[in-house]
Structure 1
């Protein structure tokens, strides 16, 4: 009887701790949201014609998205506390931006647009940004897909065939550290179109991280597994599909993530040099005309899209590596 009572007490204590942790993750975002709304409402805007509704709506959107994400979150690797911390940072940065530009005038002038101005620019340029995004995604998908195809294939073959590895290892040591961005002028001059040169630059930037990660992943597999598979009469195709590729997949995804990050950097850089469409071109054109509201709008737009793509890539990684959990 005493044992049952002790177990019940422990269970109640664990339940109370769980509830406390869940409540704690709501405290700081809720307090900061309330403080932000209060400050924006009380402190007058430097521009008397500016409405508080857009920035208040943005604060509310961030907070309610946080509530929805926490409510539906079932991912143990991303606890609610981490989501709460990210939300606090976003709310704090937005509040500082609003206070510095539109309330106290600490950062004024055309290079410091207010949140209200950026929100308005988003609504005005929504269709234009979407068309530029379609152009950017087309270049990114083409270059990155080629890098994935050749990077994984050559990386696997270089680890499998030592003769090829003796060629590719020194080549990667020499060529991989060279910044692909310095090749942009030559690519534009030598290739028949800007699209081809952009795809080439993105391909080069993403290829080496994927190749090196695949090479290291395959080369790091314990040879005893492959020897045992051969002893059992497993074909080469089945060996790659069932043993080598799954074992190297974690390393491959590391290369895919690094390659994707570099692809975005190179895509924007290439579009700012010689494109007539794309988000990078949108930012470059706005910079040339001194429209920093558009510049900030384009930067935030790229940040949102990059975040979405990286989340999608992580979900794919978790899906394909679910057998490790």
Structure 2
């Protein structure tokens, strides 16, 4: 008997799209069809991998709040949020899936509106944030997601931590690692992977090159899109990144990872990693310190990929 699972990613950066596509590919099979939604820069990546993706209205809370003000949130993010929920609810009614898997709070709201069984997959926690408004919002969001979802899947590179939301289902880090991905060059030394909100990564790359490193800067003028970053990370001697998606990919790839955080959430994740003393990861907060860490990188991490366990959890619960 065929079933359809909808997978929706948050419309922020490519990292949200890559990990949700990893779960979608793990879900796909002879008895399971997958439909995708998202929007924002990540959807271009999904389309590059050969999938159709529905693009609802997009929202940029981080850009509006951390790069703007509460007024920007009120007059930009809030109206776009309502439109995104409406668009996703209309999409769910049209595709009529048996379940929805998402890291998007607005898709979760749309699922509740349409009565679609919901599975949340996200690592977000109130403990990552210093600002009271972000803490309260994320705490309320976590409680909402726990109350409406069939399961709250929580992919981490750390063991259960005091700052994690209660009641989550722990998973290994989730990474898109298809067997037919493109082959990276043999001379990869340092792979530099900025996030949507990173700054001065071109200066960082030039600093590392001046020290004699062979540096590949993702998104540079000579960079071309690839179906998955994991083979490139696996081929590198060390990866420098800001976002948690790349941290998870480094864990699955087994590549030493230097984390150079920028956003509140990235700093929060970095604090959890430092607090737990995790093998394979090192947090730095300036270009000179990143350069020093590249000269003496941490040992390699070792994790299984959580995409298959995530898919198995969803399919098993759907079969009950």
TM tier, smaller: under 0.3
TM-score (norm 2): 0.25
TM-score (norm 1): 0.25
Larger radius of gyration: 1
**Greater strand share, 1 or 2?**
2
